[in-house]
Amino acid sequence: MKDEPYTSQCRTYYRKDGRINYQLSYSFVVVLCLLATFCSAVQAESSTRGAFSFTGFSTGIGTRAMGMNGAFTAVSNDSSAAYWNPAGLTTSLYKELSFTRADLYGLDLITTNTLNMSTPDTGSGAMSLGWNRMQFEFESWYEDIFLISYAKCLYGLDKKGKQKEGFNLALGVTAKYLRQNSDLEIIPWTDKEEDTEVEESEEPDEVVPVICKSRGYGVDFGILAGLRAKDGRNRLSVGMVIQDTPTRISWNKDTEIQSDEYLPYRYKLGISAEPLPGLTAAVDIVGEKNISFKELHLGVEHWIFPAKNTFPVSEKNLAIRGGVAKQLSNSERITFAAGVGVRWASWQLDYAYLMDSDGLGDTKNRFSVSVRF
């Protein structure tokens, strides 16, 4: 007897023998081809970079992820997955709302505030909305990044839309809008060679300061595959995300020094394992255009002390985290991270601290509060 699709909302994706049908395979190949096309386009166009840089996401988001020093590509099971790997949104079991505040250098001068909301995949896909602001506290300067993400579990849900044991596969995409506003007057960059033998009587050309503003947009793609145990934990997960494919920034539009910039794409490859319930170890490799292996990140998280007041009841209420990151390209810089997390009912509080080995004060304190419902 020929297998028939299920009659639930997942009927398009599953057969009773567990195989993926032809429609799914075709869609999967199309998505991967589009992803490769985007990457090729960015590689060709990013040589037209402008004279400025956009720094909004370079520090990462999310306290839990930073407590593991960014080794989060294959974990990504909370609302911060929109940045680390949008496909990871499908592994979350609950709706989540989170707020994060970070003091980037321990000087109360540059701070970031992040607000994220996510919904799980129950058969029709997972979604996330996010906002991140980096701001100088003593000047009217800030950078905003707005995110909207969608992820779909292609394989790994039962006919009721619940996660099942065994192999799972998900794809995700994040669209982002970026803007920077500043009341600071900056001197425009110029590529003209300076004349070192200018006579004293000769007056230099007048340079008019301008207000620095920018607008841009970008797209990230993510994929996540794993083996889920009977108790719900992911025994092994492999993830990949390609960021800024492409991300275009327009600086000082409608001015004499208008400039367009294509940010170089970045890719992240991650592997995580959960050998015991509550214990996760992860490894990430980060690269970007012209630099195959730029960073190596190692992280661990261990949830301990089971309690009846957590949500759900089977979870534990205290986490300890740690991680180390090494710059692999022309640098001996090493970053260390440590963090803790506490759950109470549906609420969770997290703290992370990062410190560089060079002792230059590049410390980052992060606090976050989240609620699941």
What residue ranges do the domains of the chain occupy?
Answer: 22-190+205-296
Nearest alpha carbon to residue 154 among 7, 6, 3, 12: 12
pLDDT at 61: 85
Q: In this predicted model, what pLDDT tens digit does every residue of 296-319 receive, in sequence order?
A: 999 999 998 765 544 454 567 899
The two beta strands, 141-155 and 126-136, are antiparallel
Residue with more model confidence, 185 or 256: 256
- Is the CB of residue 244 less than 8 Å from the CB of residue 176? no
Residue 23: pLDDT band with limits 50, 70, 90:
very low
With 0.85 as the threshold, say if the pTM is over it. no
Q: What is the mean pLDDT of the chain?
A: 76
Nearest to residue 167, comparing CAs of 115, 120, 235, 103? 235
Arithmetic mean of pLDDT, 205-209: 49
pLDDT at 139: 62
pLDDT of residue 298: 97
Q: What is the pLDDT of residue 158?
A: 80
Q: What is the pLDDT of residue 183?
A: 64
Look-up of token digits 């009217």:
140
**pLDDT tens column, 52-70:** 344 545 667 889 999 999 9
pLDDT tier at 44 (50, 70, 90 boundaries)? very low
Q: Who contacts 73 (Cβ-Cβ below 8 Å, separation ≥6)?
A: 84, 85, 239, 240, 241, 268, 269, 270, 282, 284
pLDDT of 2: 42
- Please state which of the ranges 133-147, 180-194, 241-255, 336-350 shows the lowest mean pLDDT: 180-194
Question: Each residue of 75-114: pLDDT tens digit?
Answer: 999 999 999 999 999 988 889 999 999 877 666 778 889 9
Tokens, residue 330: 């022309």
What's the whole-number mean pLDDT along residues 261-288?
90
